[in-house]
Structure 1
Amino acid sequence: MDFNDKVVLITGASSGIGAATAIHFSKLSASLALVGRKENNLKRIALYCEKAKGIKPLTIVADVTDDSALERIVTETINNFGKIDVLINNAGVIAMGGLKTSDVDTYDKVMAVNMRAVFQLTKLFTQHLVESKGCIVNVSSILSTKVTTQSLAYSLSKAALDQFTKCVALELAPDGVRVNSVNPSYVKTNLLKDIGLTDDQLDLYTQNFVSKTPLKKLVEGDEVASLIAFLASDKAKSITGTCAAIDAGKSLS
């Protein structure tokens, strides 16, 4: 696969799956627009990406829950590159708790990042993607369909994201724009640290998760990045509206 002369925008690119995806696309010669809240991390990832093929990414420090920031993301990307070919909606947050132990503020916070921002940013980029006959890849989760009592708001946001993927894929298909999602199981990133888990708690959670996963392994960030790149490539030109699980068999257990 080669993304030479392709402009790829990735939200949540300063860490985790987003950073792994940025690095993977840099090795495929993509021109990158990297969006994240943590400026130092974003610059570090951008520098790493530039070393791959000598192509300097555009970095945009922005909070995707801010509508004016979303408009700025679009403006800066188009002004810098003149187009966009691939939009990767990766930015996300998680919150633990079910109906009894969480509240509507938690719900609003999770939905604002995981769904509202995706809706708005995608809408703002739609005409540009139609012009380039581009594609969209959303980063969802197997928790969109796998039932749990531990993260209700997160599961709801990802279920909504899957439906968004399918509906928008159907709407934009006549325009030549493909829309898919990747649905990983737990990937060891800072996502759970950000909600307060200690290193010991994270290690215990990881060990327990792996023991109950059929392939007895975690999904790696670069594996998710490879699947995203495939779905964004011409090799997947007949694939749209798909929610592709990458979970080491976790959905089966």
Structure 2
Amino acid sequence: MTVSPASHLQDHVAIVTGAGSGIGRATAIALARAGARVLGVGRRAEALRRTAAHHPGITALPADITSAGAPQAVIEAATDRWGRLDVLVNNAGATAVMPLADTDAARVADLLALNVTAPSLLAHAALPHLRAGRGTIINISSTYGHCPLPGAAHYAATKAALEQLTRSWALELATDGIRVNALAPGPTESEALTAAGLPDGVVEQIKQDEAARIPLGRRGTPEEVAAWIVHLAGPAAAWITGQILTIDGGLELTSG
């Protein structure tokens, strides 16, 4: 039977963290349009409601994935509702402008908790279900997971950690039929810079500077990244694991 691209994830169940905006919202919508039943997870209930309003296949779950017991509860929310889990998209993350001179332990710990520990615990909790259905984990890294980022080294380090987890889990879980890959977007239109506490004027200047450094001349869109996440989740990517796919308009070519 030929499956149309519009429904190649029919009856699959996916969890997307950070689904209230940006790449997470676009991914939840794209997965639902491909036929999946999607649990969109995030801290902001109203933002998740707006995401869920885009497609009836999306269910919102407000949750702080860094809180004790939250990763297990998130996985159980999906499996109790739909009886399976096929795709875990570890998208939630934080950006922090933090030069070494301004580094403090609390901010480093917060970055690690959200960008490294929470995805690890979600994957741990999801593992029995992913084994049962030979599912997939897709981690969202960044160009700066493998390129230097002066002034935000700890953010870059958390993404480098996520990329190494991706490669290691891919080898560890291959015998279970579980594929693990990562997307590494470059600067993408989202609320991340504003969420990092930067003033509007600074955010706009950063966006202009980033666009000027990207060989293709612009920042990316969440939908462009989401399309590749859906591709990696689907049957056409069944022989791809342990890969870090960079989607950044050529930015990494200028950062070596």
The equivalent residue for 1:93 is: 94
Segments of structure 1 that go 5 or more residues without pairing to the other structure are none
The equivalent residue for 1:18 is: 24
The Cα of 1:105 is off from its aligned counterpart by 1.1
Aligned length: 248
Contact 2:100–2:151, Cα closer than 8 Å, also in 1: no
The equivalent residue for 2:53 is: 47
Q: How far apart are the structure 1 equivalents of 2:149 and 2:36?
A: 37
One-letter amino acid of the structure 2 residue matched with residue 177 of structure 1: I
**Matches for 1:153-164 after TM superposition, within 5 Å:** 153-164=154-165
TM-score (norm 2): 0.94
Indicate whether 1:34 and 2:40 are aligned. yes
TM-score (norm 1): 0.95
Equivalent position SS for 1:179: strand
The equivalent residue for 1:138 is: 139
CA RMSD of aligned residues (A): 1.0
Contact 1:106–1:153, Cα closer than 8 Å, also in 2: no
Contact 1:10–1:35, Cα closer than 8 Å, also in 2: yes
Report % sequence identity.
34
| Structure 1 moving runs of 4+ over 3 Å | none
One-letter amino acid of the structure 2 residue matched with residue 126 of structure 1: L
Q: How far apart are the structure 2 equivalents of 1:118 and 1:67?
A: 13
The Cα of 1:69 is off from its aligned counterpart by 1.6
One-letter amino acid of the structure 2 residue matched with residue 108 of structure 1: A
Deviations 1:72-108 (A, max 9, x none): 1111111100000000000001111122221121110
The Cα of 1:47 is off from its aligned counterpart by 1.4
The equivalent residue for 1:114 is: 115
Q: How far apart are the structure 2 equivalents of 1:196 and 1:72?
A: 29
Q: How far apart are the structure 2 equivalents of 1:6 and 1:117?
A: 23
Deviates more, 1:170-179 or 1:71-80: 71-80
The Cα of 1:27 is off from its aligned counterpart by 1.4
Q: How far apart are the structure 2 equivalents of 1:243 and 1:131?
A: 25
